[in-house]
């Protein structure tokens, strides 16, 4: 499954992510979101996630795509002055097999455009519930999963996300 995440929209739908932003700034919320997405994607080699953020952390005017330390999560910053909404719609419309994509957003424009293009849509609340259920299910070896498979992020992966978003140990 391939997910395209309206990242700002998802951050503002989750209490823990909002608290991270309020207490430590937006970069902290981005790091936390990407770490959670990485844990979600880690359970399946076929799950790929693209988290799309408005703007640019480095002031670039052009979209910048970078792959995080997990391999299954890509982070896209749309560039200064460019909205994620339009970028997500363009991303879907550029694909041939749109049914393989699930767009995660509560933005009506994005959801309606994605459905019209043939992609699946999940609200942020539905996606957050799916992440929780998947995480809870993976912790239970009786549900058929080897518990060693779900070790979470390594210290190296956490450091790579911290470096990507410009955090130091003091932050």
Confidence of residue 115 (pLDDT cuts 50, 70, 90): very high
Sign of the C-alpha dihedral, residues 76, 79, 85, 86? negative
Question: How confident is the model at residue 45, as a pLDDT?
Answer: 65
pTM confidence score:
0.73
> Per residue in 25-45, pLDDT tens?
888 888 899 888 988 888 666
Confidence of residue 65 (pLDDT cuts 50, 70, 90): low
148/134 Cα distance (integer angstroms): 15
Cα 98 from chain centroid (whole Å): 18
> Per residue in 1-19, pLDDT tens?
899 999 999 999 999 998 9
Residue 44 near residue 67, CB atoms below 8 Å: no
The full set of domain ranges for the chain reads 2-164
40/101 Cα distance (integer angstroms): 16
């Amino acid at each position: 499954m391939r997910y395209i995440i309206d990242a700002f929209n998802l951050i503002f739908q989750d209490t823990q992510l909002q608290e991270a932003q309020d207490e430590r700034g937006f970069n902290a919320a981005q790091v936390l979101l990407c770490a959670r997405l990485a844990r979600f994607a880690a359970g399946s080699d076929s799950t790929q996630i693209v988290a799309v953020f408005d703007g640019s952390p480095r002031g670039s005017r052009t979209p910048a795509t970078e792959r995080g330390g997990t391999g299954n999560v890509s982070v896209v910053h749309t560039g200064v002055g460019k909205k994620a909404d339009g970028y997500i719609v363009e991303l879907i419309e550029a694909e041939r097999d749109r049914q393989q994509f699930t767009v995660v957003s509560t933005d009506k424009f994005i959801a309606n455009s994605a459905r019209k293009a043939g992609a699946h849509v999940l609200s942020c609340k539905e996606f957050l519930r799916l992440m929780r259920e998947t995480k809870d299910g993976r912790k239970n070896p009786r549900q058929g999963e080897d518990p060693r498979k779900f070790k979470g992020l390594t210290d190296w992966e956490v450091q790579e996300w911290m470096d990507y978003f410009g955090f130091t140990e003091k932050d």
